[in-house]
Amino acid sequence: MAELSFSGLTKRFDGHAALDRVSADIGSGEFVALLGPSGCGKTTLLRLTAGFETPSEGSVTLGGEVMADATRFIAPEAREIGIVFQSYALWPHKSVARNVSFPLEVRRVPQPERDARVAEALALTGLSAFAHRMPAQLSGGQRQRVALARCLVFEPRAMLLDEPLANLDLALRASMQEVFRMFHQRTRATMLYVTHDQGEALALADRVAVMERGRIRQFAAPEDLYREPADCFVAGFVGDGAVVSARACEPAPDALRIEVLGCRVPTRTNTRRPTHASIRPENIRLSHDAPLRGRITGCTYLGGRFRLTLEAAGETLTAFATQRARLGETVGLSLHDLWSFHDPEGKVLMARAMAEA
């Protein structure tokens, strides 16, 4: 296993920058998810790492060795990086066992050792019974596991996963997530996982890089992304809730208070000049006597609790409630434990639209 780093990595297609000066360091054995809407550059970053594309600028380094920069380019087959494709890319003319043993055949691993390692990889992915099947005879989840076994069998220095669960149904996704988690715990492989599903990213990864329009907007642990988003895009894209304008109350001592939705509330923050606040559903408490009033416009049962949509001070908020609420009813809202941040260019509306899309 090896650490992976990007430095000023840029990729232009016909003058359009699909990836714009991306820099990031991924530790050895770390599980990192690349999260973002389609077209944000996450797959381009993955393909640059694998070596299927050459960078326009910047460099990719694996284990201290430059894989690609302005003067040097190591071919994909020489990088020892495994990849699991969204389409799985199983070779339809080879059986499961031959698919998995191909990386070892390429490396001229002697037959007895090869058989042992293939058997081990198949056992690890729960495929031992399917060794002699052809890919066409497998279900989606089984194909996914063959792709995984084929990737892990040669013990790559890093593993790339390109939307590996996108083609599976919901139930299978949950169980495959479990497979990935267990797999990462056992192998401690450096893993880069591309997804547009924030649930997957937050559930699986040690750290998540949120990408938008060719840039990494924030690269942090899932709980930090959720609790302390760096800007409007991340706040709107990751997790539920609202992003609203905010400003610091004068004067600004150590414990910062902000004015938001016409109320003055304490906040957690990393700046002295906040422009926006992220209001998660759990930050809102319903109380009859609170001065901030909200009108209920939607009520959805989530199992165990209700998710309310509220209009308050011209903003749309979401909150949780234990009881069903009547549409049109007005309730009092109190805000707690908000996070505010500085994002002068933040386009709240756009971020919200993307989060809902």
The 10 Å Cβ neighbour count of residue 273 is 13
Q: Rounded to whole angstroms, how far apart are CA atoms 89 and 111? A: 25
Taking alpha carbons only, the member of 201, 204, 203 closest to residue 218 is 201
**Can you tell me which residue has the tokens 């600028």?**
57
The 107-126 site mask, x for binding other proteins (CB under 8 A), equals x-------------------
For other proteins, the closer of residues 82 and 294 by Cβ is: 82
Contact between 75 and other proteins per CB under 8 A: yes
Contact between 193 and other proteins per CB under 8 A: no
Contact between 13 and other proteins per CB under 8 A: no
Reported as half-sphere exposure (CB side, CA atoms, 13 A), residue 239 has a value of 24
Using the rule CB under 8 A, give the single segment among 5-13, 90-98, 275-283, 305-313 that binds other proteins.
90-98
The 129-168 site mask, x for binding other proteins (CB under 8 A), equals ------------------x--xx--x-----x--------
Taking alpha carbons only, the member of 283, 277, 292 closest to residue 236 is 277
Among 36, 41, 58, 103, binds other proteins (CB under 8 A): 103
Q: Rounded to whole angstroms, how far apart are CA atoms 347 and 192? A: 29
User: What order do you get walking across the sheet with 4-13 strand by strand?
Assistant: 16-26, 4-13, 57-62, 65-68
For other proteins, the closer of residues 119 and 221 by Cβ is: 119
Contact between 77 and other proteins per CB under 8 A: yes
Sequence-distant (6+) residues with CB within 8 A of 78 are: none
CA 71, chain centre distance (Å): 32
Q: Categorise residue 58: left if φ over 0, alpha if ψ from -120 to 50, beta otherwise.
A: left
**Can you tell me which residue has the tokens 């650490």?**
3
Contact between 73 and other proteins per CB under 8 A: yes
For other proteins, the closer of residues 53 and 231 by Cβ is: 53
For other proteins, the closer of residues 91 and 282 by Cβ is: 91
Q: Rounded to whole angstroms, how far apart are CA atoms 295 and 5? A: 49
CB of 75 to other proteins, least distance (A): 5
β-strand pairing of 263-269 with 306-312: unpaired
Q: How many residues bind other proteins (CB under 8 A)?
A: 34
The 43-62 site mask, x for binding other proteins (CB under 8 A), equals -------xxx-x--------
CB of 213 to other proteins, least distance (A): 24
Measured over the CA atoms of residue 115, residue 116, residue 118 and residue 123, the dihedral's sign is positive
CB of 124 to other proteins, least distance (A): 17
Q: Are 299 and 325 in contact (CB under 8 A)?
A: yes
Among 82, 135, 214, 236, binds other proteins (CB under 8 A): 82
Q: Rounded to whole angstroms, how far apart are CA atoms 286 and 19? A: 43
Using the rule CB under 8 A, give the single segment among 86-94, 176-184, 278-286, 329-337 that binds other proteins.
86-94
Among 39, 76, 266, 298, binds other proteins (CB under 8 A): 76
CB of 191 to other proteins, least distance (A): 14
Binding site for other proteins (CB under 8 A): 50-52, 54, 71-83, 85-87, 89-93, 102-103, 106-107, 147, 150-151, 154, 160
